[in-house]
Structure 1
Amino acid sequence: MHPDPFSISPISEHIWQYKYRLKSADGAPVDRTLDDTWRRVARTAASVEKGGKKARERWEQRYHEAMASFEFLPAGRIIAGAGSGRQVTLFNCFVMGRIEDDLASIFDNVKEAALTMQQGGGIGHDFSTLRPKGALVKSIGADASGPVSFMDVWDAMCRTIMSAGARRGAMMGTLRCDHPDIEEFVAAKSDPTRLRNFNLSVLVTDGFIRAVREDRPWDLVFDGRVYRTVRARDLWEKIMRATYEYAEPGVIFIDRINDENNLAYCEQIHATNPCGEQPLPPYGACLLGSINLARLINRPFEPGADLDVGRLEERVRIAVRLLDAIIDASNYPLEAQRKEAMAKRRIGLGITGLADALIFVGARYGSPRALSLAETWMAHVQRAAYLASAELAAEKGAFPLYDADKFLARPGVARLGTEVRQSIATHGIRNGCLTSIAPTGTISLLAGNVSSGVEPVFDFRYKRRVLERDGTHREIMVEDYAYALFRARFGEDVPLPDSFVTTAELPPSAHLEMQAALQRHVDSSISKTINCPPSISFEEFQNVYLDAYDLGLKGCTTFRPNPVTGAVLSSRTMSEQEASKQAASKSSVARAAQRQLVTRPSDDGVVYMSKPLEREPVLAGYTYKLKWPGSDHAIYITINDIEHDGRRRP
């Protein structure tokens, strides 16, 4: 029997109070209890169901039951915004439209990006369509400033939107590996003050990987013209060196993404959302939700502990229907986004609590047994999701751009089981893409601090100091969900079994192998950070990315503590031992922050004098190490942001 998260994890209630509990404009609570929050989301999803009041009430009850059990967790945008009456989107993931190579299109795209972030969406942009620095602009007889300079415009816009009090903004910027300005793009974040609101990723092609391995020359091309030719290995080393030194850019294997895309017959992908789990076409949008595996384990810690597969499949069916309903219920910042969402009806159903689920069944993260279990569980999710979508198509119709022959011929669909393919052939399918694994940082805290997404547990126990509404502080003990249940059952003195393993104890290969095992049953992508120790050599580090390519991943993101981004520092109430662990690796929240929804320092934030700012239980930020030439000393500066009631302030 799994406990109420609020009873074992005070931070869960704090997260609900400050992130998800609906309040009126004057701060008065609208949701009296967490159950009211779940009911509000369930009612919103059920409102689009046909069949009259009784049908809507029936689906509302089923949606509510799935969420109130914490076995299905919609993404935070849905929990916070559904049924709120506010002009916000319920979608987490967007990729913006193509940026044409002219000033009018550039600033039209800046405007569209601002409108999307204003409603709470994270966005991705591909800047490969902009001519390189120094290229002639014939209409004005001047040289172009290049895509990286225009990214500064987006960065300033995002900073302004945030300082004006909008919800947290995040952007992904991509550039092709053969763009003439690729080296400037790769080096952009060596300046710790530049592009702070962007995550950066290089679009790496299969041809480039071959050129690197064969030590061939590599042409840098724009609009059919070769601007320069470089040694492929030299460019690869620059990308790797930048990532080794300051954690960006990441790498997206763009050819594999398009080759494996269910919808390649009607779209081309050039970018992802900020967390990387959703590769999307121009104006693409996707919803997120997660099955909480930790809550679906029968008899935790016992010899016969196992996953309740029947219950898992039932929850997946409900989750697919709810997410599909939210497509119809949501606001859209742009009409083009609404049309794209309706035409393909993408959803991103994933999992969270994987590491805790493995602990419950006695499998050590990274072991062969853990890899086998994780892949089997994800295969069950995939099968149930596709069957549920086919059933929905029989009831409500397939997505408008569905083409039976072309869809069934796609590689990922071709690998599905016979029963699933027959169901799709008979009924069609409601959703063009169905599975994706998000970082789930905050919703995992809400659910009792289950392990985040598919990451290992960062640490099992620590304290956080949080600010109350009356200005006082208190300490909250934060315990991993599996750890809390183990201690409640067996006491404080019993040694932890071998299945209790933390991120710092795992080599990069354990992360890669787990991501690869899951990717085989995920049609979109996976948000996962490959944590590397500070001592890893540059040669070993480069191999992580080549291994990721060979294992079939769609992208790779690493984190190695470094002087530019620093390591994430612990709260002051943590012990020295816990603080040193944080210095060696990223916390679950910071892992999400580093490459995903990252808070960044603001140069022109607004200062409010009338009321003290309120801190959330979890703050993301950066620590910078600054040194001057000729001096043996350095200073360390940490900058965090606060987000409360939809307002964000440094």
Structure 2
Amino acid sequence: MSSTIAHGPLDQPVTTHIWREKYRHGDEAAPADTFARVVGGVYANDTKEQAETALAALNARDWVPGGRIFAGAGTGKRVTWINCFVSPTIQDSMDTEPDLPGAGIMPALNVAAFTQQQGGGIGMDFGTLRPDGAVVGRTGSISSGVIPFMVMWDGMCVTIRSSGSRRGAMMGVLPVWHPDVLAFITAKTRKDFLKNFNVSVTVTDDFMAALEAGEDWELGFHVPRADGEHVAVREKDGRPWYVYRRLPAAELFDLITRTTYEYAEPGVIFIERVNRLNNLNYCETIAATNPCGEQPLPPNGDCDLGHVNLANMVLNPFTTDAAVDWERLRAAVRIGVRFLDNVLDTSPFPTAEQRAEALAKRRIGLGYTGLGNLLQQMRVRYGRGAVALVEQVGEAIAIEAYRTSVDLARERGVFPAYDTEAFARAPFLEKLPADLVADIRTYGIRNGVLLTLAPTGTTSIFYGNVSSGVEPTFSWHYDRAVVVEQTATEQKLESFEVQDYGWYLYSRMPGFDAASALPDYMVTALELSVDDHIAVAAAAQAWVDAAISKTINCPAEMPYEAFREVYLTAYREGMKGCTTYRPSGLRGSVLSVKSDTPAVADTVEAPFAGTSEVLARPQVLNGKTIKIKWPIDGENYYLTINDYVHPDGKRVPFEIFISTSSVENFETMAALTRTLSAACRRGDATFLFEELERVHSPKGGALIRLEHEAKGTYAPSLIALIGRILRQHSTPAPVNAIEETGEQCPNCKRHTAHKLEGCLTCFQCGYSKCG
């Protein structure tokens, strides 16, 4: 049995929905038209033969361009095809100082706005800005610190809507030595604060050494405190360095990890390891990453992304003869390197400085998606037992990518910043075969950095709902009814049956028995241990010259001490960063724990009155999704209600998800989702729905007509409308269970989305904060 993707997974309505909503342009009638348009744009300066080879790889679903390429290439829109950037160095002044690198605060803010307007996410290092309480010599005033300036970026992001309904994505980083780092770590614990940012602390090796030795740590800056109350004054980088505070390194580390334990942020970047292992450390210093963390970048750096579809690279899947199709894999890599190199020459760039940086170093981000599906087809369980195969796949991709880049250098020339002797010292080259290293020295190389494992949520759905990036499968299959169109007089519903690509193949193998237990290698994310997640992440990172985007998903009941150890393990394992997620009562759960019940859910009797007893979730629930167009802000909101059916036939809501592409209301809806679902699982929550109906918005209400209503009814607020829908829905009525499994999405709140790869990504509704 060949691994070529059958029609089945590609014909899933959800794949068509994603294509239509995210990537279709103009009158394109089918994905093949989209592929032709993309290749026509990317290969505008290449040969017809090369373009035809690339087009065949897209049609075969072997090669997956990044989402911005799909959305922009060949459209003529003034949008970039590059997913993400890093800001120019932010100077510690409002305007640009011409004799210093980078841009002043206001010009840098302008770069971020224009970048997001054209479709690119952006990361910023705020460590260059003077801390709270520092003297401002020019004005004789006192600095308010980093956080208020981040608020400026956050406010800008709210107003930017780029490339259709796409919202901006940002990463804010601050060094572990900055005096404002304590406020930075806890900033997002405040309700609705900096909600358009991902945030990470850049951690140095000497901090980790101080932590290990139980020593103190100093927070300081090269600008003095206005009150002169310094702990000490030292010399650093040839300038005075004023110590603002001294505290145990363990205390600071615990603040980072305890805050993340409860609030899922900040992430951690091991910044000196990033720079030490960077191929281009001889000509750049990295201080920040793109919004999802997989691409550490210098000022004005870009991430030009595309992925090999590993789900498509197994011969004789699920049999004893299963084998990786190495020739097909290498062919896809060769196409991918040339494809991404072409993008650098054909894509618009938001700023001239970004274009100049991209063309000087020709950085590309070739990676893969579908690792989880490949392991399933190879009958290898995701986790520690998969490390050898993960490294073997990574090695094959890396070697072929570097060989192809050498061939491109012979054809097109080396990247302008290439230095033969300096590049030869790159640590990553030590892993490559001797003949390839010799060829690099002889002929040079076209691309300075080549490999990245990025979030692939939406494009992976488009390609048959393959497992995303380096992550395991999160859900095998489920049904979803979506209101896809709503007018004043009618609603149009579309029902999606969604199946994971690996599950689709497995369930159609000869002899498949739905009543039998799944084999050990058919495993979803929440059945894996934290050690399994870390093991695969470290194995994947080993053959990537940039970085990877992966979230270590931790169970809600995980003790803090064990959670803290995850970061120490990640550092010891050689990872360049660590992003975790543990569901908690302080922030909405991204991954909802599924029970170990069989495919047909057992009936569990539950109380109807309020109680402290939490109703166990059956594996199968019936649900529906209602699309609400709220005219006050012009945003779409998706209200999903999954029902529990009691033995006597009484139907009650069991879990409620509210999603929207509006980042402005994301955390509010996440909190409401958490509260409503918690109440529903403890009994009849109708009283709470009625309370929501009484909420009035200062922005005013709207006249809305819901399903089965003869005419529109005034809702004093969006919250009140949601309450009304829930109250009207909560009537006893027997229903038939529809099979559904999966995890809770941060956007559409279905069990179809992941906090994975360092990014919030949904493989059902297509929401991605980064992608």
TM-score (structure 1 length as normaliser)? 0.88
- The residue aligned with 1:290 is 307
Residue 21 of structure 1: CA displacement?
0.6
Q: Percent identity of the aligned residues?
A: 43
Q: 1:227 aligns with which of 221, 244, 253?
A: 244
Larger radius of gyration: 2
Cα distance in 2 for residues equivalent to 1:355 and 1:562: 26
Q: SS at 1:289's partner residue?
A: strand
- The residue aligned with 1:99 is 90
- The residue aligned with 1:63 is 54
Output one character per residue of 1:401-427: Cα deviation in whole Å (capped at 9) or x when no partner.
000111011111222111211221121
Kindly report which structure 2 residues correspond to 1:186-585, keeping only aligned pairs within 5 A, or say none. Answer: 186-223=185-222, 224-368=241-385, 370-469=386-485, 471-489=491-509, 490=512, 492-568=514-590
- The residue aligned with 2:6 is 3
Cα distance in 2 for residues equivalent to 1:82 and 1:356: 28
Cα distance in 1 for residues equivalent to 2:426 and 2:324: 30
Output one character per residue of 1:553-592: Cα deviation in whole Å (capped at 9) or x when no partner.
000000000123211388xxx9989xx99999xxxxxxxx
Cα distance in 2 for residues equivalent to 1:497 and 1:647: 32
- The residue aligned with 1:177 is 176
Larger helix fraction of residues: 1
Q: SS at 2:403's partner residue?
A: helix
Output one character per residue of 1:324-363: Cα deviation in whole Å (capped at 9) or x when no partner.
0010000000000000000000000001100110000100
Cα distance in 1 for residues equivalent to 2:294 and 2:615: 27
Cα distance in 1 for residues equivalent to 2:186 and 2:92: 23
8 Å CA contact 1:119–1:167 kept in 2: the answer is no
Q: SS at 2:174's partner residue?
A: strand
Cα distance in 2 for residues equivalent to 1:180 and 1:466: 49
Residues 613, 561 of structure 1: alpha-carbon distance in 2 compared, 3 angstrom cutoff: closer
* Structure with higher RCO (Cα < 8 A, 6+ apart): 1
Which amino acid is 1:526 matched to? I
Structure 1 gaps, min length 5: 24-28, 50-55, 585-603
Which amino acid is 2:345 matched to? D
Residues 194, 379 of structure 1: alpha-carbon distance in 2 compared, 3 angstrom cutoff: same
8 Å CA contact 2:9–2:499 kept in 1: the answer is no
8 Å CA contact 2:286–2:296 kept in 1: the answer is yes
- The residue aligned with 1:13 is 16
Residues 567, 339 of structure 1: alpha-carbon distance in 2 compared, 3 angstrom cutoff: same
Residues 218, 431 of structure 1: alpha-carbon distance in 2 compared, 3 angstrom cutoff: same
- The residue aligned with 2:79 is 88
Output one character per residue of 1:216-267: Cα deviation in whole Å (capped at 9) or x when no partner.
1111011111111111110111011110010000000000000000000000
Cα distance in 2 for residues equivalent to 1:386 and 1:92: 22
Q: SS at 2:53's partner residue?
A: helix
Which amino acid is 1:518 matched to? A
Residue 192 of structure 1: CA displacement?
2.6
Structure 2 gaps, min length 5: 96-103, 223-240, 593-598, 603-613, 619-629, 641-657, 676-681, 693-718, 723-745, 750-761
Q: SS at 1:545's partner residue?
A: helix
8 Å CA contact 2:384–2:535 kept in 1: the answer is no
8 Å CA contact 1:568–1:583 kept in 2: the answer is no
Q: SS at 1:358's partner residue?
A: helix
Cα distance in 1 for residues equivalent to 2:588 and 2:484: 29
Residue 468 of structure 1: CA displacement?
2.4
8 Å CA contact 1:78–1:91 kept in 2: the answer is yes
Cα distance in 1 for residues equivalent to 2:390 and 2:356: 36
Q: SS at 1:219's partner residue?
A: strand
Q: SS at 1:128's partner residue?
A: helix
Residue 474 of structure 1: CA displacement?
2.3
Output one character per residue of 1:471-494: Cα deviation in whole Å (capped at 9) or x when no partner.
412221211111111112235344
8 Å CA contact 2:9–2:504 kept in 1: the answer is no
Cα distance in 2 for residues equivalent to 1:354 and 1:75: 17
Kindly report which structure 2 residues correspond to 1:601-616, keeping only aligned pairs within 5 A, or say none. Answer: 607-608=633-634
Cα distance in 2 for residues equivalent to 1:535 and 1:173: 29
Which amino acid is 1:196 matched to? K
Cα distance in 2 for residues equivalent to 1:318 and 1:618: 37
Cα distance in 2 for residues equivalent to 1:11 and 1:204: 40
Residues 562, 605 of structure 1: alpha-carbon distance in 2 compared, 3 angstrom cutoff: farther
8 Å CA contact 2:88–2:299 kept in 1: the answer is yes
Output one character per residue of 1:421-449: Cα deviation in whole Å (capped at 9) or x when no partner.
12211211000000000110001101111
Residue 505 of structure 1: CA displacement?
1.0
8 Å CA contact 1:5–1:446 kept in 2: the answer is no
Cα distance in 2 for residues equivalent to 1:494 and 1:420: 49
TM-score (structure 2 length as normaliser)? 0.74
Which amino acid is 1:14 matched to? H
Aligned residue pairs total 607
Residues 298, 618 of structure 1: alpha-carbon distance in 2 compared, 3 angstrom cutoff: farther
Q: SS at 2:127's partner residue?
A: coil
8 Å CA contact 2:555–2:582 kept in 1: the answer is yes
- The residue aligned with 1:78 is 69
Cα distance in 2 for residues equivalent to 1:238 and 1:507: 24
Cα distance in 1 for residues equivalent to 2:396 and 2:768: 40
Cα distance in 2 for residues equivalent to 1:179 and 1:316: 41
Which amino acid is 1:547 matched to? T
Cα distance in 1 for residues equivalent to 2:768 and 2:372: 33
Residues 124, 356 of structure 1: alpha-carbon distance in 2 compared, 3 angstrom cutoff: same
Which amino acid is 2:35 matched to? W
8 Å CA contact 1:569–1:583 kept in 2: the answer is no
8 Å CA contact 1:467–1:615 kept in 2: the answer is no
8 Å CA contact 2:483–2:494 kept in 1: the answer is yes
- The residue aligned with 1:35 is 32
8 Å CA contact 2:360–2:417 kept in 1: the answer is yes
8 Å CA contact 1:504–1:581 kept in 2: the answer is no
RMSD across aligned C-alpha pairs, in angstroms?
3.1
8 Å CA contact 1:201–1:249 kept in 2: the answer is yes
Kindly report which structure 2 residues correspond to 1:40-55, keeping only aligned pairs within 5 A, or say none. Answer: 40-49=37-46
Which amino acid is 1:99 matched to? I
Residues 7, 87 of structure 1: alpha-carbon distance in 2 compared, 3 angstrom cutoff: closer
Cα distance in 2 for residues equivalent to 1:509 and 1:647: 26
Question: Which piece of structure 1 moves more, 37-46 or 4-13?
Answer: 4-13
Q: List structure 1 runs of 4+ shifted beyond 3 angstroms.
A: 5-8, 162-166, 491-495, 574-577, 580-584, 612-622, 632-648
Q: SS at 1:402's partner residue?
A: coil
8 Å CA contact 2:154–2:195 kept in 1: the answer is yes
Which amino acid is 1:250 matched to? G
Residues 86, 5 of structure 1: alpha-carbon distance in 2 compared, 3 angstrom cutoff: farther
